[in-house]
Chain A
Amino acid sequence: MTKITYKVTSEHPFPADAAAAAASLAAYEALDDVTKARVDQMVDWIMKNCLWQFHSRAWDRKRQNEGILGIAAKLLAGEPFTPETPEDRCYWVDSVTLQRAYQATCPWLATMSKDDIKALMKELHARIDYLTVTGSLNEELTDKHY
């Protein structure tokens, strides 16, 4: 009897940028143990408690990650930020939430300099981009439409 199989194919070849994904993963793996543990702890809080990183398209996720983590980095480094537009304001509320959560759950932040905090937030941003965009296994991220 002929075996009938049903081929499931995606309309959106994936990953979209394998080289970027590999580079991002290599950069994360090259981090020292302390930084890696700190990044992991911060990622875990975002993954368990936030939804903003999961918009449906790659470009949208990049926009969200940049908007929210960019402002959060400033706030954690003690720099002022004044939202100018409704969109900024929307990012800002998630950034403030993140700032408060990290200050409450990551006591080691208080021992870090401004520059070190900014560097750490840069690594966090790269890791979130990897998990939600470049390294994501979600095949719908490259759909052209919402």
Chain B
Amino acid sequence: MPYHEFDCSKCLPERKKHAVTKGTGDNLATALPLGYLNTIPGSISERGCAYCGAKHVIGTPMKDVIHMSHGPVGCTYDTWQTKRYISDNNNFQLKYTFATDVREKHIVFGAEGLLKQNIIEAFKACPDIKRMTIYQTCATALIGDDINAVAAEVMEEMPDVDIFTCNSPGFGGPSQSGGHHKINIAWINDKVGNVEPEITSDYVINYVGEYNIQGDQEVMLDYFTRMGIQVLSTFTGNGTYDGLRAMHRAHLNVLECARSAEYICNELRVRYGIPRLDIDGFGFEPLSQSLRKIGMFFGIEDRAEKIIAEETARWKPELDWYKERLKGKKVCLWPGGSKLWHWAHAIEEEMGVKVVSVYTKFGHQGDMEKGIARCGEDALAIDDPNELEGLEALEKLQPDIIFTGKRPGEVAKKVRVPYLNAHAYHNGPYKGFEGWVRFARDIYNGIYSPMHQLSGLDISKDEIPTDRGFVTQRMLSDAKLPEEIAKSESLRRYTGKDDIIADLRKKNPPYFTPIVKAEAAE
């Protein structure tokens, strides 16, 4: 096994099996790191907890719901700052954060009364919202608070509300992935099948494992709608609580992020006979193939082809403008879980970059199998890295840019490696044809940022050149390009708008909450 041992982790010998280099001739039977195990003590992991995975990744993107953390107020930290799963009801689920604010006295005397009081107060404060999810945290799980019993009591007293309880305290797994699993299973056990939806199309899907990061879901919804497909529910970005209770009536589950949501797809297949189709929403070719497959399933492939032709004609010249300027650039693909395999091959093929490393914070070995299968030779694959390993890898690999979360990303900046936010994006959405061009633009802007170039000069000791002016991005990126490409009239930079979601919402198909109504409700 081509394990890679980091110098900084020699004092943690168990870490050696968590990193491999994919050498010439290696395959999945010869190169695969361990994964989804408890973090080794002494290794400062970048993982989140099982509560975070259940609530902040999967639960909270549901848009018409009061999301209540039963625990200390600090557990809600991630809601405001780092999440960008927007919604078309004026971002209710992002703007309002609820916690029961458990204190020391509640740990001693119990917090069930506090929870009930909070539930009722929250419903009264938000009279238009009739749905709630309650998330158990470490503290309240350890004292044995019965959140199911409290929820049942409130539902009896307030018959117009419905409450979902999620028992995924922070310690409930090696990482946030434990929480993904728990909330998937809890939702299908407790809520799916409780609502009968109105079916408005012959072609009905659940769009699963999609979290509407900066509008990803709305871009894909637009394609599906143009194909005449009814999206019964989205699990869970921009999704509705009651829509997700009706998942059992779909004809097909279209699965995007298998890491976080394959469990519910598998269960829907076993319990309701709804097949699971895994797709890629990123990259022109993978997305085209995905739309074709969905079209083929329903016998409407021609509708998919029409969209593919229109979108490719509109956006391919812009993607290729960036590809010419990104060729050969080295990237570290260091996201949380699924993007390492969604992006690994597509960015090499369609943007010309070279993936020199993939890592996953909370992925399982199955994610690494997909990532390693899709990346090229010599890529360094790391499971659950710590900060020092990340720094050592950056020094060794000398990437031109990394795609990762904001915390490791800020660390990378300090060693002068530009980073793009792989979780929440810089200027997304990145899904869809236009979104993929936006991603390419962000990569270009990161690598060729004039500010980044200037940051290499230390005014306290370096000689500052005064004989030349400011070097622009274009001067940097085009310096070595052949003239016919640099001045090509068939290629062009991104010409879309800053906000591409507003126009989609103006189309106002029936499944969108009308904007006027949502704003009036504020």
Contacts and interface: CB of A to CB of B under 8 A. Distances in A.
A86 interface: yes
A146 B258 CA distance: 12
Contact of A56 (B262, B273, B374): B262
B14 A47 contact: no
Q: What bracket does the count of chain A residues touching chain B fall in?
A: 35 or more
A131 B28 contact: yes
A81 interface: no
A4 B289 CA distance: 51
Given A93-B296, A93-B297, A54 B34 contact: no
B251 A86 contact: yes
Contact of A86 (B17, B36, B252, B373): B252
A78 B365 CA distance: 37
A83 to B, nearest CB: 9
A117 interface: no
B278 interface: yes
Interface stretch (A108-116, A118-126, A137-145): A137-145
Given A5-B13, A6-B40, A89-B275, A138 B369 contact: yes
B41 A90 contact: no
A137 B345 contact: no
B277 A90 contact: yes
Contact of B297 (A4, A51, A90): A90
Contact of A135 (B29, B289, B296, B374): B29
Contacts of B285: 49
A90 B275 contact: yes
Which of B13, B251, B278, B374 counts the most A-chain CB atoms under 10 A from its CB? B278
B27 interface: yes
A47 B374 contact: yes
Nearest to A86: B275
Interface string B283-295: 0011001001110
Chain A binding surface, main DSSP class: helix
Contact of B34 (A4, A136, A139): A139
B370 A54 contact: yes
Interface string B238-256: 0000000000000110000
Interface in B176-217: none
Instruction: Kindly name the residue among A6, A25, A94, A136 whose own CB sees the greatest number of chain B CB atoms within 10 A.
Output: A6
A16 interface: no
B293 A54 contact: no
A30 interface: no
A97 interface: yes
B172 to A, nearest CB: 15
A93 B374 contact: no
Given A51-B258, A54-B366, A140-B366, A131 B29 contact: yes
Contacts of A135: 28-29
Given A51-B280, A139-B365, A87 B29 contact: no
B274 interface: yes
Contact of B365 (A51, A96, A137): A137
Interface in B227-277: 251-252, 258, 262-263, 266-267, 269, 273-277
Contacts of A93: 277, 293-294, 296-297
Interface in B39-56: 40-41
B70 interface: no
A47 B273 contact: no
Interface in A45-90: 47-49, 51-52, 54-56, 60, 86-87, 89-90
Contacts of A136: 28-29, 32, 369
A94 B373 CA distance: 18
A47 B341 CA distance: 10
A130 interface: yes
Contact of B41 (A6, A49, A92): A6
B37 interface: yes
B364 interface: yes
A137 B273 CA distance: 30
A29 B277 CA distance: 33
Given A8-B14, A47-B373, A140-B364, A52 B29 contact: no
Contacts of B266: 55-56, 60, 146
A131 B366 contact: no
Contact of A90 (B13, B29, B276, B370): B276
B28 A86 contact: no
B44 to A, nearest CB: 14
Nearest to A132: B28
Nearest to A56: B366
Nearest to A51: B278
A86 B374 contact: no
Nearest to B41: A6
B289 A86 contact: no
A131 B251 contact: no
Contact of B27 (A7, A8, A96, A131): A131
Contacts of B37: 8, 10
Given A8-B34, A93-B297, A137-B28, A49 B14 contact: no
Nearest to A89: B297
A87 B275 contact: yes
Contacts of B296: 92-93, 96
Nearest to B273: A86
Most chain A beta carbons < 10 A, residue from B34, B251, B369: B369
Given A47-B373, A97-B289, A140 B36 contact: yes
Interface of B: 1, 13-14, 17, 27-29, 32, 34, 36-38, 40-41, 251-252, 258, 262-263, 266-267, 269, 273-280, 285-286, 289, 292-294, 296-297, 341, 345, 364-366, 369-370, 373-374
14 contacts: A49-B285, A51-B278, A51-B280, A56-B266, A87-B269, A90-B275, A90-B276, A93-B293, A94-B293, A97-B289, A131-B27, A131-B28, A139-B34, A139-B365
The 7 closest A-B pairs by CB, nearest first: A135-B29, A90-B275, A51-B278, A47-B373, A137-B32, A138-B365, A93-B296
